[in-house]
């Protein structure tokens, strides 16, 4: 007779323990989801500014094309890198949580930064181009847009760090592994890159491309 209450208490304790474990797992899971969603949402601000940047670059190249007759290779490289970056940005915007897509985006942006740097260095040899009013206006708009990208990138990277820290902490990492959470990728500008470094997949939006010869 005395064994029945003891057995009942043991069962209740076990059920209570399992319930606490379940509540803890739900809490950890919800925290990881919140921080991941915050990270992904922060990319949207980067994407908006990058889209504006990609809209400005063809206009700038079109003006430069009229002055830099002997710099076709560089101008074509700018458009190629711009197309790669625009497509990579479109892919990340559709799925900000994809680490490979983010790595591709970072590579594409670094490539674009490299060729844009070469283009602006070459414009120093073309004073008439530098003095062009439209060129000056576009350059100013690009600079302003790049500054906005920088601020948005800082906020994004902060949210990536928050998410990754939550992911790596014990025992959160066990829950993260079970539900297959993947670490976020920082949007880090590494300086000058090589055109073609980014891998553009077949399912990316080719309608975003600009043809140099049609400009």
Dump pLDDT digits (tens) for 131-147.
999 999 999 999 999 99
Cβ atoms of residues 208 and 90 within 8 Å: yes
Measured between alpha carbons, how far is residue 168 from residues 98, 183, 191 in Å?
A: 18, 9, 29
Cβ atoms of residues 69 and 182 within 8 Å: no
Q: What is the pLDDT of residues 39-78, one digit of tens each?
A: 999 999 899 999 999 999 999 999 999 999 889 999 999 9
Q: What topology is assigned to 40-152+199-210 in CATH?
A: de novo design (two linked rop proteins) (1.20.1440)
Sign, CA dihedral 58-46-98-108, equals positive
Residue ranges per structural domain of the chain: 40-152+199-210
Nearest CA-CA partner of 51 in 99, 79, 90, 94? 90
- Residue 113 above 50 pLDDT? yes
Measured between alpha carbons, how far is residue 67 from residues 34, 35, 50, 80, 125 in Å?
A: 51, 49, 26, 20, 11
């Amino acid at each position: 007779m005395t064994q029945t209450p003891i057995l009942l208490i043991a069962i209740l304790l076990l059920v209570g323990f399992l319930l606490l474990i379940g509540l803890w797992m739900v809490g950890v899971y919800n925290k990881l989801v919140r921080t991941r969603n915050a990270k992904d949402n922060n990319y949207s601000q980067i994407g908006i500014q990058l889209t504006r940047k990609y809209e400005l670059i063809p206009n700038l190249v079109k003006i430069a094309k009229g002055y830099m007759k002997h710099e076709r290779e560089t101008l074509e490289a700018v458009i190629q890198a711009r197309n790669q970056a625009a497509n990579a940005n479109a892919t990340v915007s559709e799925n900000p949580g994809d680490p490979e897509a983010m790595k591709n985006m970072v590579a594409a942006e670094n490539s674009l930064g490299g060729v844009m740097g070469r283009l602006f260095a070459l414009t120093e040899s073309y004073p008439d181009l530098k003095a062009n009013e439209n060129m000056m206006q576009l350059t100013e708009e690009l600079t302003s847009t790049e500054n906005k990208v920088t601020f948005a990138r800082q906020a994004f990277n902060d949210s990536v760090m928050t998410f990754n820290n939550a992911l790596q902490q014990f025992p959160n990492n066990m829950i993260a592994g079970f539900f297959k959470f993947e670490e976020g990728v920082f949007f880090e500008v590494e300086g000058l890159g090589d055109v073609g470094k980014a891998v553009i997949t077949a399912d990316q939006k080719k309608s975003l491309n600009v043809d140099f010869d049609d400009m």
